[in-house]
Each structure stands twice: as C-alpha cells, then as structure tokens.
Structure 1
Amino acid sequence: MVAESWFRSLWKIPQRYEGGSERLQIGVLAFEVASLMSKLVHLWRCLSHKKVSRWREDITTCVGVKKLVSEDQDYIGHLICVEMIETITHVAKSVARLVTKCNDPDLKSFELVFTKLVQTGADPYGWIPPSKKMDRKVKKMERFISVNATLYQEMEVLLDLEQTLRRMKNSETEPENLLEFQKKVMWKQHEVKNLREMSLWNRTYDYTIHLTARSIFTVFGRIKDVFGIEQNVDDGDSRVTDSDSMYRSLSVSALMQA
C-alpha cells in the first residue's frame, strides 16, 4: 500500500544533515510546540499596554469583579500575576525538555539561564528583543500556529482518504473509480507535504527553540514590568510566605514550583 506507507512516514521525526553535523527537525512535535507558542502569544497579547489598561480599569470599576472575586485590587492583581507566572513556567519547563536535541550549546543551557533570569533578571545571551522585534516574532508564531492547525486537519483528512482507498482496493471497485480516487489521495498527499514545508514540522530544533526561548524571556520580562516583580536570589524555600506581595517579590523556587 503506497498511500499507507507514505502517511506513516510522515510521523517519523526527520533528520537533516548540514555541514557534516546532524540537525534534527521538530517533526511530529511541531503540534506540541505550536501549543506552547499559542500560550506565549496569548500572554503577550494580554500584556499589551491597551489590555493592561483595560483590565486595570475593570479591577477598579467592575462591580461584578468586586462581588465575585474581591474588593481588594492588590489581591486581584496578585491572582492575575500568579496565573501568568504559572503559564510561563509551564511553557519554560516544556521547552527545557526539548533543548537536549539542540546543537547550540547556549540553547542547551536554557533551563539554567531561565533560572538566572528569574533570580537576577540577567539576560546573558541577549534573548530579550525590543518590543517591535517581539511583535514581529509574535506574528511569525501566529503564522506557524495557523499553518500547524491546518496541517493537523489535513493529515486527519488524508488518513481517512487512505483508509477508504485501502477498502476500495480490497473490494470490487470499478478500475475507473479506483484510479480517480487514487488521484484524489495523491493530491491530498501533495497538499500535506506543502503544509509540512510551511509549518514547524520541517524546522530544526535550534531554530524552533531559539524562537520560543527568546519569546519566553520577553514575556517574562513584560510580566515583571507590569506587576513590579523583583528577582530574589533563591533561599531554598519554595513557600510563598506573604501572598499579598508575592507578585512583587517572587523567589525562583516558588516560581518553578508554582
């Protein structure tokens, strides 16, 4: 079954050899990475000046928020900050699991560097770009997210078509109908192949993680600016002793175990 073997080959994580060194491509993990990028894009949009001004106004004036959550504006700000910190930490942990397949030694040390960023605000590799550059990176991630979503849908369609083709070959289908359906499957295979070329699927770990790591650093920096977080050297205590001021002074242990 040519169609069946072609589809199964899609799910193998491809490898590319450049300059004599192995450079792994993301492959099927593209869907997981696209999900992480989606979280980063959402956070960045929520932290825009317009959005921040709006939810600060809502905290101050919205009667529903005061009745359902709290009348303490600092406490509501604390809840928002904690939720964002938990999200960015989840994304950072997921990326840290992928960096082992990168070639770039700087990327391999992502987890350590991110911890230093949380502790001291240090950015040794200059991963935090200016806001305008980050906006361009966000648009790039949005394109990848969109293409990857389409790729996933079309791969599902292709799988259904190939299963139908197998059933037709095992039945007494008219040769003309079988040939016509085979052409349809081949066209869909070509479409999926083109989508793979446009998506994260064929991007290397180095390229993908570099884009994601820089975005994580930038989003965390924006969270820090919006909520006034101060980096403290980790004292080994993962507990947050003062919940009212947690978003202003957050230890790395509390952050990584949020």
Structure 2
Amino acid sequence: MAHRPAWLRVRFGGGGGAREETGLKILAFEVAAAMSRLVSLYCSLSDVEDRRLRVDALLAEGVARVTSTDQSLLLWLACGEVVADLDCAAGSATRFGTRCCAARRSCTIFDRV
C-alpha cells in the first residue's frame, strides 16, 4: 500500500485502512460520473444544440409519427428532460456534500433546488 501524503491523512483521517481508501475511490468515481453528466447537460444548452433540436430533431418525420407534430409540446417535453437532469445533478451534489463536508451548511443545501 502506498504512503499517503500528509494533507490526505489530515483531510480524510489518519487511519489509512483499506475500507477508507475504497470509499474514497468509489466517491471519486461517482463525482467523475456526475461531472460528465453536467458537462453533457451544459453542452446541450448551447445555441447550436438548441437550433439543431428545433430544426433537425423536432421536424423529423419519425418524431412526428411516434410522438406528435405539435412543436410546443415537443419543446415542453425537451425542457422537462433538461429540468429532470438538473434535478438529478442537484441530488448528486447534495449526496456528495453530505458525504464529504456535512459540517458546512453550504454543501448540503442543493436539495432545495
């Protein structure tokens, strides 16, 4: 087992057991997955993606046959998906805040979004 730097021992405790390291690795994986989802959500909010959604996706014949031809309904559904993704991201931030820095109130208020 590799020696931990002093700042890691101070921040995450001095025990250094295998269980503690496993928990840290799992948390790092969860944070990386959440960051990837947030970057994808951020990129989907660009003007280019909005234009692509309005011109290509919503006007496609397959979309009209499967769902609806009502543009306002389809945009409402797309916005609902974005809001659901944002809600999921806020839930992840709340869980990470609770697990990492529960003493700080600013880390645990994302559940109010």
Provide the residue aligned with 2:107 in structure 1. Answer: 108
Q: How many pairs does the alignment contain?
A: 100
Report sequence identity in percent.
32
Provide the residue aligned with 1:138 in structure 2. Answer: none
> Equivalents in 1 of 2:34, 2:110: separation in Å?
16
Q: CA deviation at 1:87?
A: 1.5
Q: Which of structures 1 and 2 has the bigger CA Rg?
A: 1
More strand by share: 1
Return the match for 1:24 from 4, 7, 12: 12
Deviations 1:200-236 (A, max 9, x none): xxxxxxxxxxxxxxxxxxxxxxxxxxxxxxxxxxxxx
Deviations 1:30-76 (A, max 9, x none): 11111111111111111111111111112553222212221011111
Tell me the TM-score normalised to structure 1 length.
0.34
Q: CA deviation at 1:103?
A: 7.0
Deviations 1:174-221 (A, max 9, x none): xxxxxxxxxxxxxxxxxxxxxxxxxxxxxxxxxxxxxxxxxxxxxxxx
The yes-or-no answer on 1:77 pairing with 2:65 is no
> Equivalents in 2 of 1:96, 1:76: separation in Å?
30
Greater RCO, 1 or 2 (C-alpha within 8 Å, sep 6+): 1
| Contact 2:58–2:74 (CA under 8 A) maintained in structure 1 | no
Q: Which runs of 5+ in 1 are unaligned?
A: 1-5, 18-22, 119-258
| Contact 1:60–1:73 (CA under 8 A) maintained in structure 2 | yes
Return the match for 2:60 from 54, 62, 80: 62
| Contact 2:102–2:108 (CA under 8 A) maintained in structure 1 | no
> Equivalents in 2 of 1:32, 1:89: separation in Å?
16
Provide closer, same or farther for how the CA distance between residues 24 and 85 of structure 1 changes in structure 2, counting only shifts above 3 A.
Answer: farther
| Contact 1:59–1:76 (CA under 8 A) maintained in structure 2 | no
Tell me the TM-score normalised to structure 2 length.
0.70
Provide closer, same or farther for how the CA distance between residues 103 and 94 of structure 1 changes in structure 2, counting only shifts above 3 A.
Answer: closer
Provide the residue aligned with 1:43 in structure 2. Answer: 41
Return the match for 1:33 from 31, 55, 71: 31
Provide the residue aligned with 1:193 in structure 2. Answer: none
| Contact 1:15–1:24 (CA under 8 A) maintained in structure 2 | yes
* Paired amino acid for 2:107: K
Provide closer, same or farther for how the CA distance between residues 84 and 60 of structure 1 changes in structure 2, counting only shifts above 3 A.
Answer: closer
Deviations 1:152-186 (A, max 9, x none): xxxxxxxxxxxxxxxxxxxxxxxxxxxxxxxxxxx
Provide the residue aligned with 1:253 in structure 2. Answer: none
> Equivalents in 2 of 1:43, 1:108: separation in Å?
21
> Equivalents in 2 of 1:56, 1:75: separation in Å?
12
Q: How does 1:210-229 map to 2 (within 5 A)?
A: none
